[in-house]
Amino acid sequence: MNQPLVAVLAVLAAWNPPAAAGIMGMPSRPRLVGLGIAAGVGILLAVLGEWVIDLLGVSAPTFRTASGVVVAATGSAHLVRRPPRPVEGDGITGGVIAGLGPGPVFAATAAGADAGWWIAALCVGAAAATWWWAARIGRSNAVTAWLIRSIGAVAVLAGVVMTIDGASTV
Amino acid sequence: MNERRTAINLGLTWLLVATGLRVTLLAPEVCPPLSADGALAAAGAAAEWIAVNQSPDGTFLYEIDRVTGAPSGGYNLVRHAGTTMSLYQVVRHGDPADADRLLAAADLALGSMLDRVVPTADGASAWGDDGADLKLGAAALLAVSLLDRRAITADITHDGLLVKLGRFMAGQQLADGSMLDAWDRATAAPDPAVRSRYATGEALWALALLHETLPGEGFDRVAWRTLDYLSTRRDEVEGLSPRPWPDQWAAYSLEAMGDWGLEDHHIAYARALSGQFGVGIRWDSQRSGIGTVTHPPEPRGAGFGTVLEGSSMLQRLATDDLRLADLADPLADRVVCGAARLAAAQTTGDGAGPTEAGAWFRDGITRMDDQQHAASAMLWTAALIARSGP
């Protein structure tokens, strides 16, 4: 089981760029600012992953177990729910919201500890860039729904693997 | 949905997730401080409980309810051998102030075993009660007790018996490396129907230590077969779970055979065992505050002691074998944390009577192997802390 690879997959899948793009809608300037804030927080958590885990007073495997549960739950939601609709309005909240859910936050923090801070930060940046790109090209309902569910399935898988790994590591 | 409502939903989701995780999977891991001296003192106090509550015939107080003060009626010969072994371990590794008294107690308990040694086959011996089947685990832990005593006293008068015990254990082995637990006096042969999840590892460890002390008897070949069996097939054949079954005797054996040239499947087994023990210690360390409710059950000295014994042995193996080097520090952290928690749960203080002081109680009851396993674990933890430095 390649722990860093699973951690990286979990970040990308928990962010689920097409779902995030669906929540954000067309990328106005405030929404892009919101996206930037979400990405910044994600990168910060990736960089400070080990510190955050220490602050919580738990070991890395314990945090990995919990993160796996959260990532799998996030993926399950994407798998079974209808594709998200854009948040009404034009404020930054619509940009922030998709990147600051428990799934992306836990995945970024766990990846920071398991895959190394710069790899995790790079992944968060890549997920945010893909999110922005997906928002720019707009939506095609059938394809988007398929993509969101597929990425959700990857998140479920990555979350389960993380949980098992965390629960069988010293 | 508008932005405000979306933000409120996100906030509520976070509140639920964060609170839910903090009291369950992400409950803080609490590790009190523990020094090498503190661990040795805990081991010494446990040995004291064993010795103080020994009867003149060499048997120990088996089990007692602290509320009623009533001892239970049963006794277990394998646990008698294991408890005797732990007394020798404390004398050998614990540097107790009253070493002579503890050694005398151990020798008295040893005598009660030696009185019941019987020949089983050509050149082999075991021990047990008259009329009862002879147990593999009892023979194994008698052998380990004798080896510890030999190391303490340099007395080699029991070397002949050690070889006979080794032959008995070898005679219980099947071709696939598995071990039969009982020797049937009626048929004068191993009972093919009885196996034990404990005795196989106990015998393996004893055989490995026997080979280290008395090479040339071929006990290493017997040990390799059983180690292969434990590493690859035992859990499936014997239907044990969780897998790998957290067998501290196997961990002792892996450590004892660490410089024999372990193969990759043995190392994989050691790694998997480390995970089982590590998770057990992490789980227990989350038992504080509301974690006592969400992280049951309260461990007993025997059960948690075995987890620490196994972890300690695997930590030593990880220190010496590069293939497990990544586990050395995490295992050390878990062992010290778990031992500190166990030490904190020991009954101490002036108000504690002789059947309480030095013991670990759960639900008001302690059994002699609570002290046996906890004492051993404390010894290995003290050595680990001492090796690691302040």
Q: How many CB contacts within 8 angstroms connect chain A with chain B? A: 76
pLDDT value at position A170? 95
ipTM, interface predicted TM-score of the complex: 0.94
Torsion of the alpha carbons at B284, B286, B291 and B297, rounded to the nearest 10: -10
Output the six-digit token pair for B150: 């030999």
Task: Write the residue in B3, B276, B333 that is nearest to A91 by C-beta.
Answer: B3
Stretch B212-237: mean pLDDT, rounded? Answer: 98
Give the closest-approach CA distance of B314 to chain A in angstroms: 11
d(CA B353, CA B66): 10
* Maximum pairwise Cα distance, chain A: 48
pLDDT value at position B75? 97
Helices A3-15 and A60-80 cross at an angle (nearest 10°) of 40
Residue B324: DSSP 8-state: G
pTM over 0.80: yes
Give B334's contacts in chain A (Cβ within 8 Å).
170
At B253-298, the pLDDT tens digits run 999 999 999 999 999 999 999 999 999 999 999 999 999 999 999 9
Cα B141 to Cα A57, A129, B378: the distances in Å are 40, 64, 19
pLDDT value at position A139? 63
- Cross-strand partners of B179: B173
**Which of helix, strand or coil describes residue B236?**
helix
What's the pLDDT band for A140 if we cut at 50, 70, 90? low
At B80-97, the pLDDT tens digits run 999 999 999 999 999 999
Range of lowest pLDDT (A83-87, B175-179, B218-222) = A83-87
Closest chain B residue to the Cα of A34, Cα to Cα: B3
Cα B242 to Cα A167, B245, B275, B277: the distances in Å are 12, 5, 12, 11
d(CA B378, CA B40): 6
Give A168's contacts in chain B (Cβ within 8 Å).
272, 275-276, 279
Residue B390 has pLDDT above 70, yes or no: no
Closest chain B residue to the Cα of A31, Cα to Cα: B3
Give A91's contacts in chain B (Cβ within 8 Å).
3
Output the six-digit token pair for B384: 């680990």
d(CA B212, CA B210): 5
Cβ distance B277 to A85 less than 8 Å, yes or no, reads no
pLDDT value at position B202? 98
Interface residues on A facing B, Cβ-Cβ cutoff 8 A: 56-59, 61-63, 65-66, 69-70, 85, 87-89, 91, 93-94, 97, 100-102, 167-170
pLDDT value at position B218? 97
Cβ distance A93 to B3 less than 8 Å, yes or no, reads yes
Chain A interface includes B19 (CB < 8 A): no
Q: Is A51 exposed, middle or buried (0-12, 13-18, 19+ CB in 10 A)?
A: middle
d(CA A127, CA A14): 9
- Cross-strand partners of B119: B125
Q: What percentage of chain A exceeds 70 in pLDDT? A: 98
208-237 in B: which are within 8 Å (CB) of A? none
At B12-70, the pLDDT tens digits run 999 999 999 999 999 999 999 999 999 999 999 999 999 999 999 999 999 999 999 99
Mean pLDDT taken over chain B: 97
d(CA B36, CA A54): 25
Stretch B104-123: mean pLDDT, rounded? Answer: 97
Handedness of CA B292, B298, B299, B301 (dihedral sign): positive
pLDDT value at position A90? 83
Which domains are present in chain B? Answer: 34-388 (1.50.10.10)
What's the pLDDT band for A162 if we cut at 50, 70, 90? very high
At A37-77, the pLDDT tens digits run 999 999 999 999 999 999 999 999 999 999 999 999 999 99
314-353 in B: which are within 8 Å (CB) of A? 327, 330-331, 333-334
Task: Write the residue in B2, B18, B28 that is nearest to A58 by C-beta.
Answer: B28
Q: Best of B21, B24, B276, B281 to disrupt the A interface by mutation (most A CBs within 10 Å)?
A: B21
What distance, in Å, lies between the first and last C-alpha atoms of chain B? 58
Closest CA to B6 of A67, A132, A39, A25: A25
Cβ distance A170 to B277 less than 8 Å, yes or no, reads yes
Residue B201 has pLDDT above 90, yes or no: yes
Residue B389 has pLDDT above 80, yes or no: no
Cβ distance B17 to A61 less than 8 Å, yes or no, reads no
Chain A interface includes B95 (CB < 8 A): no
Residue B111 has pLDDT above 70, yes or no: yes
Range of lowest pLDDT (A16-25, B43-52, B255-264, B308-317) = A16-25
- Cross-strand partners of B135: B182
pLDDT value at position A101? 95
d(CA B143, CA B234): 23
